[in-house]
């Protein structure tokens, strides 16, 4: 490797480190909550800790344990009680929590019996909260499946049935969310309504592109703008009115008649005491990396946090940007760093091993061939890209030739969705181990 290439590899490692720091659930909470004696500053809002009867912590999502450890690190002895729902929790992890904290597990990505039973217990726990309490609610990726409770008279089976019907009709994710918010107690502001008028701080670690607060975990503490009329419209659109379980139509009819309250809207008193704070996100991770790149003397730019679409198309797009920097110094002159965030998709055509980040990198290999002094790398911020133990991969101008000398054609591996084995053979996988967080993916373009 040349000196420039070695230098780019060092920059790569610094950027990965800054992304993980920004997305780390423990650190993200510690950056958001600031305690000074009896006072807690949460996003500029000041809470006088000794005025509350109890400080209670609830949370759900895959990162909830580490978010809890951060919260407890700031608040210390103040927090007496907690109820958490996560996907897995080892005894070791549970052992780090304050005594008396309840930890339950749920199902992910599809809610099942564990989620429903754990959420039922959480619901009861929330029922004991007093108007004089302060509630900290911690939300992270997977929260929507891990925390779910059908609204009576709908049963868990009926809710699952409806979800299947909608999925098979090709309903959009926004439409799914309207239905979910209206038949699930906790979603669409349900948790805010359950604990009102107690004071509540919700800390949100976003795994959704653009970080819309009402979408992350279906917005349990956030106003919902959708209505029973919208729900009726969606069922009609997909001709599901007669197909869905009878209890869902009962619930809908009650909602349309005003016999049943709608989800709480913006301005509803249940939100008067709710402080929703985003603690980290793809945007925060990308911005942290851009700041690091600038510290390292690069011209740095955050291009988008909405990288979407098929990974192999995105890979060629990113290669094109890097070619342009090489050719004309546009959009920014060398030494340059372009950061992109988002989450692409892979359409499975083969039966190889890979993930969207590795496939994106592989799709860039041929276009970047022989472009000097550049590096492209990709990163799943959870450290696990697809069903692999790699977070992503890196590509430079020598990658194509190195691969060909080993008999590896990028197209063959792409066609088989086998990016992992291509980059494994070249020693170009990025192995970080699981990070315990998820703020989607990042990709970086470096030109030395």
Residue numbers at the binding site for a second copy (CB under 8 A): 210, 283, 301-310, 312-314, 316-317, 319-321, 323-324, 327-328, 330-331, 342, 367
- Give least dist CB 160 to a second copy, A: 26
Is the CB of 196 or the CB of 319 nearer to a second copy?
319
- Which residue in 393, 373, 377 sits closest to 444, CA to CA? 377
* Residue 78 C-beta: closest distance to a second copy, Å: 34
Q: How far is the CB of 344 from a second copy (least distance, A)?
A: 9
Considering beta carbons, is residue 201 or 283 the nearer one to a second copy? Answer: 283
The SS3 of residue 362 is helix
Three-class SS of 229-278: HHHHHHHHHCCCCCCCCHHHHHHHHHHHHCCCCCCCCCCCHHHCCEEEEE
In 3-state terms, what secondary structure has residue 395? strand
Give whichever of 210 and 434 is closer to a second copy, judged by the CB atom: 210
User: Residue 423 CB, nearest distance to a second copy (Å)?
Assistant: 21
Least Cα distance to 24 among 63, 74, 76 occurs for 63
- 446, containing H or E segment: strand 441-447
Q: Is the dihedral of CA 238, 241, 244, 250 positive or negative?
A: positive
Here the tokens at position 232 are: 């009726």
DSSP string computed for 157-185: HHHHHHHHHHHHTT--HHHHHHHHHHHBS
What is the closest distance, in whole angstroms, from the C-beta atom of residue 330 to a second copy in the complex? 4
Indicate the residue among 124 and 411 with the shorter CB distance to a second copy: 411
- Select 97 or 166, whichever has its Cβ closest to a second copy: 166
> With contact defined as beta carbons under 8 Å apart, do 111 and 32 qualify?
no
Cβ closest to a second copy, residue 126 vs residue 336 = 336
Residue 394: helix, strand or coil by DSSP? strand
E strand or H helix at 337: strand 336-342
Nearer CB in complex with a second copy: 219/342: 342
Shortest Cβ distance from residue 310 to a second copy (Å)? 5
Minimum CB distance to a second copy, residue 242 (Å)? 23
User: Please, are residues 179 and 218 in contact by the beta-carbon 8 Å criterion?
Assistant: no
Residues of the chain by 3-state class (helix, strand, coil), percent to 5 = 45, 20, 35
């Amino acid at each position: 490797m040349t000196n420039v290439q070695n230098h780019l590899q060092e920059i790569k490692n610094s950027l990965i480190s800054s992304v993980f720091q920004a997305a780390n659930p423990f650190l993200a909470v510690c950056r958001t909550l600031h305690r000074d004696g009896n006072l807690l500053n949460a996003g500029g809002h000041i809470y006088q800790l000794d005025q509350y009867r109890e400080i209670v912590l609830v949370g759900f999502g895959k990162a909830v344990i580490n978010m809890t450890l951060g919260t407890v690190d700031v608040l210390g002895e103040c927090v007496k009680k907690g109820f958490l729902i996560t996907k897995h929790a080892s005894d070791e992890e549970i052992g780090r929590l304050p005594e008396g904290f309840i930890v339950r597990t749920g199902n992910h990505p599809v809610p099942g019996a564990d989620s429903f039973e754990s959420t039922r217990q959480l619901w009861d726990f929330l029922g004991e909260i007093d108007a004089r309490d302060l509630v900290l609610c911690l939300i992270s990726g997977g929260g929507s499946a891990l925390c779910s409770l059908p609204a009576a008279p709908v049963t868990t089976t009926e809710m699952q049935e409806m979800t299947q019907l909608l999925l098979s009709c090709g309903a959009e994710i926004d439409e799914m969310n309207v239905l979910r918010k209206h038949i699930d107690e906790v979603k669409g502001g349900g948790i805010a309504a359950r604990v009102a008028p107690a004071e509540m701080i919700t800390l949100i670690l976003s795994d959704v592109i653009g970080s819309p607060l009402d979408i992350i975990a279906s917005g349990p503490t956030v106003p919902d703008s959708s209505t029973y009329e919208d729900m009726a419209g969606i069922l009609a659109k997909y001709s599901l009115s007669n197909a869905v379980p009878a209890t869902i139509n009962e619930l809908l009819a009650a909602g349309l008649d005003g016999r049943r309250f709608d989800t709480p809207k913006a301005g509803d008193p249940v939100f008067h005491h709710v402080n929703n704070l985003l603690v980290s996100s793809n945007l925060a991770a990308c911005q942290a990396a851009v700041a690091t790149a600038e510290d390292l003397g690069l011209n740095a730019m955050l291009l988008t946090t909405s990288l979407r679409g098929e990974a192999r198309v995105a890979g060629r797009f990113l290669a094109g940007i890097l070619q342009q920097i090489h050719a004309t110094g546009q959009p920014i002159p060398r030494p340059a760093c372009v950061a992109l965030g988002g989450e692409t998709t892979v359409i499975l055509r083969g039966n190889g091993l890979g993930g969207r980040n590795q496939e994106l990198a592989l799709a860039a290999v041929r276009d970047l061939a022989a472009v000097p002094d550049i590096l492209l790398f990709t990163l799943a911020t959870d450290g696990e890209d697809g069903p692999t133990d790699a977070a992503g991969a890196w590509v430079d101008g020598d990658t194509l030739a190195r691969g060909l000398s080993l008999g590896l054609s990028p197209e063959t591996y792409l066609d088989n969705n086998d990016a992992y084995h291509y980059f494994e053979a070249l020693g170009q996988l990025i192995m970080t181990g699981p990070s315990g967080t998820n703020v989607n993916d990042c990709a970086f373009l470096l030109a030395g």
